[in-house]
Amino acid sequence: MSRSLHDQTLALAGIFQAAALVREIAHTGYCNEAAMETCIRSLFATDPETTLDVYGGELSDIRDGLQVLSTVFAQQARPQDAEVLRYVLNLIHLESKLKRKGDVMDVLGNRIEQARHTASHFGYTHSNLLSNLASVYSDTISTLGPRIQVSGNPNMLQREDNQHKVRALLLAGIRSAVLWRQSGGHRWQLIFKRKKVILHARELLR
C-alpha cells in the first residue's frame, strides 16, 4: 500500500465520511445511502490494489468524505463540525488500541469474513448485514474502551435500526483508520500536516 499524502488523504476522508454519516443518523435518522454503502463496502475490501479501490475505485464514492474533511478540518467553527471531529479522533484512538490487540484483530477479521456472504446475498445497506456488523462492533471494538458516546436526537438513537447503522458505520470508520495508519498516517500529522491534507482534499474535489 502506498504511503503518499494522496493515500493518507483518501483514508482520512473515509474516516470523516463514516463520522459525518453517524452524526446525520443520530440527529435525523437519515443519511446519504450511497455514501453509507461506500463505507460498509470498504469493510470487505481486504485485498485492494490502491487506497481508492477500498472505496469503490472512483473519487465520487468518497466525495462526501473529502468534502467534510476539507470543511470540518479547516474551520471547526460549528457545533456539528466539532461533533464529527470528535468521532474521527475517537476512531483513530480506538484503532491505535486495536492494533495492539492481536486476538481482537483476529476475531474482527473472522467475523467480517463470515459477514461477506450476507453482504453478497442482500447488499451492503440491508438491515441483516447492518445488524450483523453492529454486533461485530459491539463484540470487538466496544471492548477496547472507552466507548464512543454518540450525541443526537434521543428518539432517533432509541431506534434499533439506527443503532445498527451507527455501529456498522463506526466499524467502517475503524477500517479507514487502519488504512490511514497503513498508508503512513500518524496522529501528529493531524496537527502538522493539516493544511497540506486540506489542500489536497480540495484539489481532489475539483
Note the pLDDT tens digit of each residue in 50-74: 999 999 999 999 999 999 999 998 8
Q: Give the model's pLDDT for residue 188.
A: 87
pTM of the model: 0.96
Question: 5-205: which CATH architecture?
Answer: Orthogonal Bundle (1.10)
The answer, yes or no, to whether residue 45 has pLDDT greater than 80, is yes
Q: Give the model's pLDDT for residue 1.
A: 59
Average pLDDT over residues 107-131: 96
Q: Give the model's pLDDT for residue 153.
A: 97
Mean pLDDT, the chain, whole residue set:
94
Note the pLDDT tens digit of each residue in 154-184: 999 999 999 999 999 999 999 999 999 999 9
Q: What is the distance between the alpha carbons of residues 83 and 151, in angstroms, rounded to a whole number? A: 8
Q: Which residue has the higher pLDDT, 111 or 145?
A: 111
- Give the three-state DSSP class for 76: coil
E strand segments, the chain: none
The answer to whether 91 touches 16, Cβ cutoff 8 Å, is no
At 122, list the grid cell. 442482500
At 203, list the grid cell. 484539489
* Band of pLDDT at residue 15, cut at 50, 70 and 90: very high
